Structure 1
Amino acid sequence: MRCFCLLLLALGVCEAARGREWAHHGASMFADLTPREMCDFRDYLQGKPELGLTAARGKSLKKNSILLMELHLPRKHEALMALDRGQDKPTRQARVVVQFGTQAQPNITEIIVSPLPFPTSYRRKTFKGDRPIRFESRPITVAEYSHIIDILQKITAKVHKVLFETTGGFSFHNCTDRCLTFSDIAPRGLESGERRTWIMLQKFVEGYFIHPVGFEVLVNHKELDPECWTSNTRTDIHGPKLLEPQGPRYHVDGNFVEYAGWSFAFRVRSSAGLQIFDLRFNGERIAYELAPDIDCPEIATFLDLHHYYDTDKPVLTSRGCYNFFGGLENHVLVLRTTSTVYNYDYIWDFLFYQNGVMESRVSATGYIHATVFTPNGLYYGSKVYNYVLGNLHTHVIHYKVDLDIADEFCSINLLVKTQHQTERSAAFRFGKKFPRYMHFYNKWGHQKGYHANSVLPRGWREENGISWSRYPLAVTRHKDSEPTSSSIYNQNDPWEPVVSFEDYIRNNENITNQDLVAWVTVGFLHVPHSEDIPNTATPGNAVGFFPRPFNFLRRGPLSGIPQYRHRPARQRGQTQDGPQRS
C-alpha cells in the first residue's frame, strides 16, 4: 500500500516565475502513467493475438496476463536535451511485466510498449548479461494466494481441535471473531528454481504479526496446478523402532515381571501412580518399594487398569501404562511517501533545506515479525512479550543518486586528493576503512561540487540477490541499462538474481570526467525489545544521508532569503537598546 503527500513547512514567498522557467515543459516526462494511458497500453497488448493475454482476475494460474505496468523512463541524454536545450520531449513508454503461464515453458517477460497516445509497437526488455527471468521468481498474485488459502483450509481442518484448544478458541475456518490468519516468508526455497514457502499462522487481531501461534507449514507451490501442491511433509517415513528379533526378553505374569535377572511386583495406585514392590536382582532383594516414572515404548506390554474413584463402579482404563509429554527559521520542503512492506511501514522523506542541503531519510515503523518464543530462539532475538520472540533483523536501503554537478561529467576523490578513476576502486566495502568525506566534482576540479555523508558507519548464497549491501558507497558510470540495483524477482530467487549490482562494477570502467551515479547504502540493525510492542516507533529508527553543496554556490544562500535575520555587532558605547548614557 502506498500513499503520497507533499509537505511545505512555512515556506517563504518566492518568485513563482523564476521557479518555473526551467521546468514548465519537462516535468511531464517523469509523470507516472495515467489511468487512461494504462488502459490504452492494456488494450493494445490484449489486442495482439500472438501474446494471448487474458484478464488477470480469476483463480487459474495457467494463463497469460499482465502482472505489472509502469512508466518506462526515457534515456537520460534524451531527457536532458529536452530539459536543457528545449528539444522535443521523448515519447512516453510503458514497462509491462507479462506472465506467460500457458506455454510449454512458463516464463516471465518484460516488454517496452510505445508510444502514447496510440501504441504501435512493443519490444522485449533484456537484463544485463541477457539473464532469463525464472518463472518461479515471480511475485505472488491474488490468484495464487487464494489457492494457498485453500490448501491451508485443508491442512488446518485436520488439526482444528489442536489449534482451537491451544489458541484459546481461534480457528482458521468457520470462524467469526476469533480467527487465525497467516504470513508467508521469502525467499521461497533454498535454491534457484524452487517455490516453497513457509506459512505461519497468527491470531487475526490488531498487530497480528506479533501474535504467532507456533503452527507453521511448508507448502511447495511450484506447479501451476494447485492440486499438485504439497505440504512437503512426507507421511511414509517412519521414526526409529525397537525390534525384538527373538521375541520378548521379559516375562509378565499378572503383576509380576521378570527380566534378565530382575524381578519385581507392581501396582498403579489411583492416588499415587505406579509403584514397584519386592525388587530383586538375581534373586536378591534390592528394594521393597519404588515409585518411579516410566516410559512406555511402542513395543511395551500395556496392561488394563481398574480404578474406583468418584464413581459407583470400577472404571476400566485401557493401556494404563502410558505417559504423556508434552540563524534562519528552519523552513523545509518535504516530499514524502509511505510504503507498506508486509509488517513494516516505511516513511520516505526527501527534505530540501533553504541553504542548498538536501536530505534523504527513511523511517521504519509498524510491527516486528515475531515468532513463538523458545529458549533456543534467544540466539536469534529477544523475548519481547509472553511467548513472543522478536527476531534480529536489519533494515538496509539502497539509494541511486545520479549526480550532475553543473554538467553530467563528474569525477570523485577524497579530501586527501586520492582520485578514484575506476568503478572498482570507488566501491567501498563494509567492514573496511571508509572515507569520512566524499567529494563529487566536475571537470574544473573543486569549483562546484556536492559531497555525500553516509549515515551507516558476505558468504551465503542468498546474499547474491542483495550484493549492493556490501558497499556503503559505490560510484559507477551512468548507463540507461542499469536503472536499479535489484528487481522484483530477487526476493523469490536471490541465488541467481536477474539483476546483480556486482555486475555494475565488475568491468571496472574509468569514472574520471564521466556521468556518475552514486549508490548509497544506509540501514540499521534492529534488536527487538519490549518497547517494540505493539509498534516500532520511528524515533531512533531512521537513517539517511545529506547531499550538501560544496563550492557549488558563489555565496551562502541564506542572505537572499526574506526571513534571514542579521543583527550587526554593537559599537562601542552602545547597548542593545541604543547609545549608552553617561
Structure 2
Amino acid sequence: MKLTSTICSVLSTGALVSALPPIGYERRLFHEAINKRGINGSSSSCLTDAAPTTTAPKSNVWAPISAADNAAVWDLLHDPKSGLNLTHPSKAVLTDNYVWWMDALPVNKSDVLPYLDGEAPMPPKYARAILFEGGKDAPDSQEYMIGPLPVGPETSIEKLDYIYNGGNGGSVPFNARYFDGPRNKASDPLVASIMSNISDITAALFQGGVYHGSNDNRTNLVLTWGVPMSWDGTQAFRNVMLKFPGPANYLTPLDFYLLLDVTGTDASLYSMRGFVTGEKYYPTTEALRAAFVAGELAMEYDQTLDASWALVDHKPEMGVRDLEDRLAPSSLEIGGKRYRVDEENQYIEYMGWSFYMSFSRTLGIMFYDIKFKGERILYELSMQEAMAQYGGNQPKAAGTVYHDTYYQLGTEMSPLVEGFDCPWGSTFWNLSHSTNEKITTKTNSVCIFEADMNFPVSRHRYGADNAYGFDKLGTVKGSALTLRAIATVGNYDYMFDYVFHMDASFEIAVRASGYLQSSFYYPNQGKWGPRIQQATQGSLHDHIITFKGDFDIAGTKNSLQVSELKAVKQSQPWFPELGEFEQLELDVYNMKEEQQFNWAANNQAMYTIINTNSTNKWGTPRGYRIVPGKSDIHLSTLKSPFSLKNSEFAKSHLAVTQQHDNEVFANSVQNLNLPQKPQQDFSKFFDGESVDGEDLVVWFNLGMHHFTRSEDVPVTLYSEAYSSISFAPQNFFDRAQDGDILNRRWIEVDKAGNMTVQTYGVELETCAVRLSEPASHIGGTVVT
C-alpha cells in the first residue's frame, strides 16, 4: 500500500508546531513518514513561493491607459488650442468647464478578434473623458474620446456619442450630472441658512444637534441625501437627511429631512421645497415651527450618541468562544502555486484555463479572452452595474436608487488583508486609475489563490464484498482558482469572486457586507423592516448586480438553446395496465429574437449557449449551460418612478442580445439621475434582431432581496448576503474533464483483501508557514 501524509508546520513566534496526524492506520504511516523524511527534511514554504511566470500570447489590448498616456491626455485637454477652456477641478465652480474623470475607451470587438486570432496589428488605444461643461450657454456634461494613443499628431478629441442610445449621445443635462463638490458647495449656504433658522428646533429634537454649515464649528450634525436627484434633467432636487457624525453614521439616522430645489447653475435661485419629520410634510419654515410650538414634533425615541456598538471590532461584553484564541483553519497552497502569471499583461494560466484581466474605474475588474484548453469560451465577462432600490415612508428610503458605477465602483476596490480577506499566501495585484493628471494606485487590491473546494470533483466506489465495503474506489480532488476584489462603495463592501474550476466550469459569486442604510424607527413602519437598535430601523431593499457575458462557443455564431422540462401524458405498450400516465420529456428549441426573460418556474428549463455548426464526437452541438446558483433575482419594483427607464437591465433574470460594438454597456455612469429619460436605455437593445446563429451576449443578474434583521448590526454578514451563478460545459467535450487530473486516488482491493493505492506520483508535501508578519499584504494607496 502506498500512502503519504502531510506534515504542515507552522512557525509562529519561533515555535515549530506540527499538524495533527490522521486517525487510524494512517496515523502509523504518518509517523513513518516523519522518520523517513525528517522534520527538517526538504520542505517548502506554503506562503512565500511566488506564482510561476508565463508570457501572454498577445499584449493586453484591454489594459487601462498608462500613467504617461494619462498625463499626456490631460495636457492635451487643457491645451488652449483644444478650445475646451478647462479649469482644474480643484478650483472649479458650477459655471466652469472641468474634467470629471478619465478612463480607457473599450476597444471594439470587431477590431480585437483579427488581432487575437490572426496577424492583424494591435488596435489603437483611446481614452475617454467626461467633462462637466458649466460654462456653456446650455450647461451639460459631455463625454469625449481621445486618441489614438500615445498622443501625437494624429490624436484628436471627439465627442463620444456612439455607445449611448438615449438620443443625446454622450451629453447629459447639467441637472442630471453627478452631484460633485462644486454642486454641494453651491447649495450648502442655502442649507446652512435654513437650518440655522431652525437650530432651536433641531437642538430640542436631537439632543443638541444643529447644522450651521459644513465649515461652521458649531455644526455637530452631518448631511446625506438621496438619489436620483432629477427625473429627466430639466430640474434638480436635493432631499437632505440629518445624521449624527461618526464612522457608523449610516446606522444613526435622524427623523428630519430638508427638501431643496437646486436646479441650474445659479445658486441664488435655489429654494426650499419643505421639511419632512414624523412622517409629515411641512412646506414652509412657519408650518414646521407652528407644529414644534404645538408640541407635535417630539421624538418618541432618541437616537444613540455612542455608536461603538456599530464598529467591526471585538465586543468584550459578548465574551470569547471556547478555543477561539487559536488561529482558524486556513487554505494553503501546500504543493506550491499551480497557476502562472504575466503580471505586466495581467494574464493568467491555470489548469487549462487562460484569460486576461483588465480594470475600469466604473466597472472594476473585467476578464477577456477566457479559454479552456486553447478554445475561447467567452470574449468578455464583466460586471455592468451594482444597483440597490429601497422602500420606506420617508424621503430617503422611499426615493433611493443607487447605481454604484455612478460612484466609481472600481476606484473603491481597496487593499485586501492577507489571511482574512484572502487566504495566506495569495498572489496580490495592484489596481490603478486616473485621478486628474496623476495615477492613483491601490496596492494589493486583487488577490489570486487556488483553494481546496472541500469536496471532490468526482467520486465513485464499486462493489462491497469485503471488509472495506468496496472493490474499487476513485476520487478526484476538487480545487479552483479564485480572483477576488472588494469594493467599498459608501456603506457596502461588495466582494466579487470569479472562480475557475477544474472541470471546465466557472462561477461568479457576489457577497455584501457593510453598514445598512437604515431609517429612523417608527413602530408603525414594520412593513419596511424591523427595529434593529434604539431608534434605528433596517430599510428593506433589493441589491441587483448585472453582468455581461459575451460568449464565443467554437466561434461567434452561437444560439441560445432552451430545453424545457415538461410532464406529458403518454402510454407504453409494456405497461398496458397503467394506461396514460405522466412522463418527463424535453422540448428543445432555439430562441429566435433578442429578449429579456426569467428563470422558468421550478427551474424546469435549461438555457445553453451552443454552436450548431460545431458538434462533439457524438454529434451533439457543443455548448455551455447557464446554471442558476443562490439568489438569482431581479428588481422587485418594475414601474417605480425612481427607476422607471434607467434601470431596465435589472428587471429580468436574464437577457440575450446580438453583440454590437456600440452596445458596450448595459448602463451609463450618469443614468442614475435620468429615470424618465436615460442616457442609456437597456430596453432599446431588444429591437427584434435574431439570436439564432449570431454573435451573442448574455446579460444576467445576481443579487439579494435584503430582508433586514438585527443580525445586520454591526454589519451585514457575507455568509448570508450571497448570490452566485455558474456556467458549465454542456456537450462541449466528448467526456467529463476530470480524466487528465493527477490529483486523485485510485484504490483497489483484491479478493484476498489486499489494498493498493495509486497516487499517480502526486505526494502530500511538507511545508513551513511563517506567520510573523500578518500585515504583509494590507497595502495602501500610492499616487504617481
CA deviation map 1:489-509 (0-9, x unaligned): 22111111111111001x111
Tell me, what secondary structure is at the counterpart of 1:231? strand
Which residue of 678, 690, 696 corresponds with 1:497? Answer: 678
Say whether the 8 Å CA contact 2:143–2:160 is kept in structure 1. Answer: yes
Which residue of 131, 145, 170 corresponds with 2:184? Answer: 145
Moved more, 445-454 or 216-225: 445-454
CA deviation map 1:402-447 (0-9, x unaligned): 01112122111122353334334x4214797865421111132544
CA deviation map 1:181-214 (0-9, x unaligned): 1211001145552210211111112210010121
Say whether the 8 Å CA contact 1:403–1:517 is kept in structure 2. Answer: yes
Quick one: structure 1 residues 419 and 129, their matched pair in 2 at CA, closer, same or farther if it must change by over 3 Å?
Answer: farther
The correspondence of residues 249-264 of structure 1 with structure 2, limited to 5 A, is none
> Are 1:527 and 2:707 counterparts?
yes
What's the TM-score once normalised by structure 1's chain length?
0.76
CA distance in 2, matches of 1:466, 1:104: 30
- Kindly state the Cα deviation for residue 13 of structure 1 after the two structures are TM-superposed: 11
Partner of 1:135: 174
CA deviation map 1:83-109 (0-9, x unaligned): 111321101101111121111111221
Tell me, what secondary structure is at the counterpart of 2:738? helix
What amino acid is aligned across from residue 689 of structure 2 in structure 1? E
CA deviation map 1:212-243 (0-9, x unaligned): 1212111222221223222223977987xxxx
What amino acid is aligned across from residue 122 of structure 1 in structure 2? I
Say whether the 8 Å CA contact 1:454–1:472 is kept in structure 2. Answer: no
CA distance in 1, matches of 2:237, 2:597: 35
Partner of 2:248: 207
Partner of 1:34: 66
Tell me, what secondary structure is at the counterpart of 2:243? strand
Tell me, what secondary structure is at the counterpart of 1:53? coil
CA distance in 2, matches of 1:323, 1:98: 50
CA distance in 1, matches of 2:172, 2:705: 31
The correspondence of residues 425-464 of structure 1 with structure 2, limited to 5 A, is 426-429=595-598, 436-442=605-611, 443-444=613-614, 446-455=620-629, 456=632, 458-461=638-641, 462-464=643-645
Say whether the 8 Å CA contact 1:164–1:170 is kept in structure 2. Answer: yes
Tell me, what secondary structure is at the counterpart of 1:197? strand
Partner of 1:167: 206
Quick one: structure 1 residues 219 and 330, their matched pair in 2 at CA, closer, same or farther if it must change by over 3 Å?
Answer: farther
Higher relative contact order (CA 8 A, sep 6+): 2
Partner of 1:397: 545
Say whether the 8 Å CA contact 1:427–1:475 is kept in structure 2. Answer: yes
Partner of 2:159: 124
Structure 1 residue runs without a partner (length 5+): 1-8, 240-295, 298-321
What amino acid is aligned across from residue 723 of structure 2 in structure 1? V
Tell me, what secondary structure is at the counterpart of 1:396? strand
- Kindly state the Cα deviation for residue 133 of structure 1 after the two structures are TM-superposed: 2.4
Quick one: structure 1 residues 53 and 324, their matched pair in 2 at CA, closer, same or farther if it must change by over 3 Å?
Answer: closer
Say whether the 8 Å CA contact 2:166–2:678 is kept in structure 1. Answer: no
Say whether the 8 Å CA contact 2:747–2:756 is kept in structure 1. Answer: no
What amino acid is aligned across from residue 740 of structure 2 in structure 1? G
Partner of 2:268: 227
The correspondence of residues 315-354 of structure 1 with structure 2, limited to 5 A, is 324-325=295-296, 326=298, 327=456, 328-354=476-502
Which residue of 113, 128, 136 corresponds with 1:103? Answer: 136
Say whether the 8 Å CA contact 1:11–1:331 is kept in structure 2. Answer: no
The correspondence of residues 351-500 of structure 1 with structure 2, limited to 5 A, is 351-415=499-563, 416=586, 418-424=588-594, 426-429=595-598, 436-442=605-611, 443-444=613-614, 446-455=620-629, 456=632, 458-461=638-641, 462-500=643-681
- Kindly state the Cα deviation for residue 160 of structure 1 after the two structures are TM-superposed: 2.5
Partner of 1:574: 753
- Kindly state the Cα deviation for residue 139 of structure 1 after the two structures are TM-superposed: 1.0
What amino acid is aligned across from residue 238 of structure 2 in structure 1? T
Tell me, what secondary structure is at the counterpart of 2:98? strand
Say whether the 8 Å CA contact 1:11–1:332 is kept in structure 2. Answer: no
CA distance in 1, matches of 2:172, 2:715: 37
CA distance in 2, matches of 1:87, 1:180: 60
Tell me, what secondary structure is at the counterpart of 1:163? helix
Which residue of 39, 60, 72 corresponds with 2:93? Answer: 60
Partner of 1:276: none
CA distance in 2, matches of 1:118, 1:94: 10
Aligned-residue RMSD, C-alpha: 3.1
Quick one: structure 1 residues 417 and 43, their matched pair in 2 at CA, closer, same or farther if it must change by over 3 Å?
Answer: farther
CA distance in 1, matches of 2:268, 2:672: 25
- Kindly state the Cα deviation for residue 149 of structure 1 after the two structures are TM-superposed: 3.8
What amino acid is aligned across from residue 504 of structure 1 in structure 2? F
Say whether the 8 Å CA contact 2:97–2:131 is kept in structure 1. Answer: yes
- Kindly state the Cα deviation for residue 175 of structure 1 after the two structures are TM-superposed: 7.7
What amino acid is aligned across from residue 452 of structure 1 in structure 2? I
Say whether the 8 Å CA contact 2:232–2:673 is kept in structure 1. Answer: no
Moved more, 43-52 or 430-439: 430-439
Tell me, what secondary structure is at the counterpart of 2:112? helix
The correspondence of residues 269-280 of structure 1 with structure 2, limited to 5 A, is none
Partner of 1:251: none
Tell me, what secondary structure is at the counterpart of 2:487? strand
Tell me, what secondary structure is at the counterpart of 1:394? strand
The correspondence of residues 538-549 of structure 1 with structure 2, limited to 5 A, is 538-549=718-729
Partner of 1:113: 146
- Kindly state the Cα deviation for residue 14 of structure 1 after the two structures are TM-superposed: 9.6
- Rg (Cα) greater in structure: 1
What amino acid is aligned across from residue 97 of structure 1 in structure 2? I
Say whether the 8 Å CA contact 2:105–2:145 is kept in structure 1. Answer: yes
Quick one: structure 1 residues 100 and 211, their matched pair in 2 at CA, closer, same or farther if it must change by over 3 Å?
Answer: same
Say whether the 8 Å CA contact 2:239–2:257 is kept in structure 1. Answer: yes
Quick one: structure 1 residues 163 and 323, their matched pair in 2 at CA, closer, same or farther if it must change by over 3 Å?
Answer: closer
- Kindly state the Cα deviation for residue 157 of structure 1 after the two structures are TM-superposed: 2.0
CA deviation map 1:232-279 (0-9, x unaligned): 23977987xxxxxxxxxxxxxxxxxxxxxxxxxxxxxxxxxxxxxxxx
Say whether the 8 Å CA contact 1:413–1:419 is kept in structure 2. Answer: yes
Quick one: structure 1 residues 94 and 489, their matched pair in 2 at CA, closer, same or farther if it must change by over 3 Å?
Answer: same
Say whether the 8 Å CA contact 1:337–1:347 is kept in structure 2. Answer: yes
> Are 1:194 and 2:235 counterparts?
yes
What amino acid is aligned across from residue 698 of structure 2 in structure 1? A
Identity of paired residues, percent? 22
- Kindly state the Cα deviation for residue 177 of structure 1 after the two structures are TM-superposed: 11
CA deviation map 1:91-140 (0-9, x unaligned): 11011111211111112211111011125212222222533522222111
CA distance in 2, matches of 1:549, 1:10: 33
> Aligned residues, how many?
483
Partner of 2:124: 91
- Kindly state the Cα deviation for residue 61 of structure 1 after the two structures are TM-superposed: 0.7
Partner of 2:766: none
Tell me, what secondary structure is at the counterpart of 1:147? helix
CA distance in 1, matches of 2:294, 2:694: 76
CA distance in 2, matches of 1:345, 1:68: 23
What amino acid is aligned across from residue 472 of structure 1 in structure 2? H
Say whether the 8 Å CA contact 1:192–1:494 is kept in structure 2. Answer: no
Structure 2 residue runs without a partner (length 5+): 1-45, 275-281, 299-455, 457-475, 564-585, 758-784
Say whether the 8 Å CA contact 1:97–1:109 is kept in structure 2. Answer: yes
Partner of 1:291: none
- Kindly state the Cα deviation for residue 471 of structure 1 after the two structures are TM-superposed: 1.6
CA distance in 2, matches of 1:52, 1:108: 14
Tell me, what secondary structure is at the counterpart of 1:162? helix
